[in-house]
Amino acid sequence: MNSQPIGVFDSGIGGLTCLKELKELLPNEDIVYLGDTARVPYGTKSRETIAEYARQDIAFLKRYDVKMILVACGTVSSVMETVPIFEGSGVELYSGVISPAVKAACEATKNGRIGVIGTPATIRSGCYTSALKAIHTDIQVFSRACPMFVPLVENGYTDDDNKVTTLIAQEYLEEMARENIDTLIMGCTHYPLLKGVFAKVLGDGVTLISPGAEAARYAARMLGEKDMLCGSGGACRLYCTDSEELFAENVAAFLGSGINAEIKKCSL
Amino acid sequence: MNSQPIGVFDSGIGGLTCLKELKELLPNEDIVYLGDTARVPYGTKSRETIAEYARQDIAFLKRYDVKMILVACGTVSSVMETVPIFEGSGVELYSGVISPAVKAACEATKNGRIGVIGTPATIRSGCYTSALKAIHTDIQVFSRACPMFVPLVENGYTDDDNKVTTLIAQEYLEEMARENIDTLIMGCTHYPLLKGVFAKVLGDGVTLISPGAEAARYAARMLGEKDMLCGSGGACRLYCTDSEELFAENVAAFLGSGINAEIKKCSL
């Protein structure tokens, strides 16, 4: 039993898809969320810069005496596959989004053909491909960087039949659709907001995997197994590094109205 | 006569449209350019954060003993209309992009109906509207935030007949087209790369004003008047805060192959 909060961070607001799932699975746990909105996006930046920012994000959450940290950012998760960003941080229990998503995708696929979409940094790192092949060497992976999806989500182009988003999704997904994938890892925490568009472009036969949601499920299972659950009420504190007002607008779009959370600006 | 370099900065690569014009007007001047690519974009961030970043950018250029600083970033230029970001910096000669663009627009318009497009921060500040109305109170201004244009430019959606960019440009520009504007201020230094699309959507009757190019013309005139020209060869040094490789790819798209420049990563 452990009443310390769970820490979650992302470069911005995408990680809220993970927080939302976490709240549903573990409504009584306290959560501290950090969105580094002053420096968002991370996905277009270099590995060195991303690692440096991530270490600052971890140090911030550490101040709140968190019992576990979820890296709810696809880009940071890909960097931490090879760069030990938690080393020396004093945080012992943590997870990125990649390994939980990869396990879920391997369970879901029937034909062994899996698509992966993400930011340029995530795809460049090849992290999903190596993690998938480490489970089954004969899995076929079709990956594609989709840099336009984050700005589309952040500017509200999220309707299932939005023309612009559909055109761009067709461009990004046409090759993997032709390759007959049956599972798609949405390798950036913003992408679940476009799942309606993806489903239309790819058809019903493709299972969509949300890494943020899978990471939340993994955290719930792991904390349960270690007997470290025991929320002290379910308080939810959200920190951002840029303006609270701008952040609050996006929080509503990601979390809906069901979650009450305190929002504060912070410095890293 | 003054052989010190001219300093130019932007949140990223957009300011290269200003640097390009500067090189054409003053081929023998040395130029130091800073693109804060580790924290790009500024346009979606708060005024406080933007002002803080801009002061760091200025302090960096000051180290190179520049004789003038051009703020080739629409967002920072809008913030500096009300926040004294140069105060205490020791830099005496500087200009943003707004006032040069506004003067050019007032000279170009015949019907007094001017459109302004820019990032959310630029449009929210109302800086172009107030600057235009300060010249002629009876000018009618039609402004619109266009957050999708920067990602479209940075991801290469710049062909004159690109379907996605055309759809988004129609959405953003339809109201000002209906209002019969005859001049459009492209209030973000990325936008000139989309001028072919704008011209198609708005028709030939609309004059497009590039604030980066106007700021370069203003700098050339001002330095000439003060007898402070006298390049020492036309060396061009470009600094970025994120990876040099990523920056170099974009430099080619903005500058073409005609400009030789040394590219280095730096810390602010």
SS3 labels along A165-184: HHHHHHHHHHHHHHCCCCEE
User: Is a pLDDT exceeding 80 seen at residue B131?
Assistant: yes
Range list for CATH 3.40.50.1860 in chain A: 6-96+213-265, 98-212
Tokens standing for residue A178: 């032709």
Does residue B190 surpass a pLDDT of 80?
Answer: yes
What pLDDT shows up at residue B182?
Answer: 98
Q: Is the peptide bond before A151 cis (omega within 30 degrees of 0)?
A: no
Does B164 lie at the interface with A, CB-CB under 8 angstroms?
A: yes
Q: At residue B231, does pLDDT exceed 80?
A: no
User: Which stretch of A230-244, A245-259, B83-97 has the lowest confidence by average pLDDT?
Assistant: A245-259
Cα separations (Å) of B205 from B107, B140, B170, B200? 15, 17, 16, 10
Q: Is the pLDDT of residue A172 over 80?
A: yes
- Asked whether B157 and B164 are in contact (CB, 8 A), the reply is yes
A127 catalytic per annotation? no
CATH for A6-96+213-265? 3.40.50.1860
Q: Model confidence at B75, in pLDDT bands (50, 70, 90)?
A: confident
Averaged pLDDT for residues A250-260: 79
Name every residue whose Cβ is closer than 8 Å to that of residue B137 and which is 6 or more positions away in sequence. none
Q: Which two tokens stand for residue A141?
A: 């992976």
Q: Measured between CA atoms, how close is B248 to chain A, in angstroms? A: 13
Least confident window among A161-170, B94-103, B127-136, B256-265: B256-265
**Rounded distance between C-alpha atoms, residue A223 and residue A217, angstroms:** 10
**Exposure b/e, A88-126, CB count within 10 A at least 16 = b:** ebebebbbbbbbbbbbbbbebbeeebbbbbbbbbbbebe
Q: Tokens for B122, please give them.
A: 């630029």
pLDDT surpassing 90 at residue A214: yes
* Cβ–Cβ < 8 Å for B56, B267: no
The reply to whether A46 touches chain B by the CB within 8 Å rule is yes
Q: In sequence order, which residues have a C-beta less than 8 Å from that of residue A10 and are 6 or more positions away?
A: A16, A18, A33, A34, A35, A36, A71, A72, A73, A76, A189
Which CATH code is given to the segment(s) A98-212?
A: 3.40.50.1860
Measured in whole angstroms, how far is the alpha carbon of residue B71 from the centre of its chain? 7
Does A213 have pLDDT greater than 80?
yes
Kindly give the residue spans of alpha helices, DSSP state H, lying in A64-148: 74-79, 98-108, 120-125, 127-135
Instruction: Determine, for residues A243 and B48 on separate chains, whether the beta-carbon distance falls below 8 Å.
Output: yes
Strands A207-209 and A183-186, bridge-based pairing: parallel
Token couple for B162: 């690109």
Q: Does the bond joining B41 to the residue before it have cis omega, within 30 degrees of 0?
A: yes
Decide if domain B98-211 falls under CATH 3.40.190.10: no
Q: What pLDDT does B45 receive?
A: 85
* Mean pLDDT calculated for residue range B26-31: 94
State mean pLDDT over A165-176: 98
Nearest-CA distance from A148 to chain B in Å?
Answer: 7
Residue B27 has pLDDT above 80, yes or no: yes
More reliable by pLDDT, A31 or A44: A31
A71 pairs with which residues across the strands? A9
pLDDT confidence tier of residue A97, bands split at 50, 70 and 90? very high
- What is chain A's Cα-based Rg? 17
Cα distances (Å, whole numbers) of residue A207 to A143, A196, B59, B71, B143: 15, 12, 51, 48, 43
Question: Is residue B127 annotated as a catalytic residue, yes or no?
Answer: no
Q: Are B148 and A147 an interchain contact pair (Cβ–Cβ within 8 Å)? A: no
ipTM exceeding 0.85?
no
Give the residue from B190, B201, B208, B209 showing the smallest Cα distance to B151: B190
pLDDT of A259 over the 80 cut: no
B242 lies within 8 A of chain A by CB:
yes
B101 pLDDT band, cuts 50/70/90, is very high
Look up residue A212 and give its amino acid: G
Which pLDDT score, from 0 to 100, does residue A253 have? 79
**Predicted confidence (pLDDT) per residue in B207-224, tens digit:** 999 999 999 999 999 999
3-state secondary structure of A131: helix
Q: How many CB atoms lie within 10 A of CB A264?
A: 10
The burial of B137, by beta-carbon neighbours within 10 Å (0-12 exposed, 13-18 middle, 19 or more buried), is given as exposed
CA distance A5 to B236: 51
Q: Which of the residues A18, A146, A188, A240 is marked catalytic?
A: A188
Percent of chain B with pLDDT over 70: 99
- Residue-wise pLDDT for A59-73, tens only, equals 999 999 999 999 999
- What is the arithmetic mean of pLDDT over A219-231? 93
Which residue reads 């028709």 in tokens? B203
Q: In sequence order, what are the beta bridge partners of B142? A: B115
Q: Which candidate in B48, B53, B155 is best for mutational testing of the A interface (most A CBs within 10 A)?
A: B155
Are B67 and B4 a contacting pair, CB within 8 Å? Answer: yes
Within chain B, which residue ranges are assigned CATH 3.40.50.1860? Answer: 6-96+213-265, 98-211
More confident residue, A199 or A260: A199
Structure confidence at residue B232 (pLDDT):
73
Check if A148 contacts B (Cβ < 8 Å).
yes
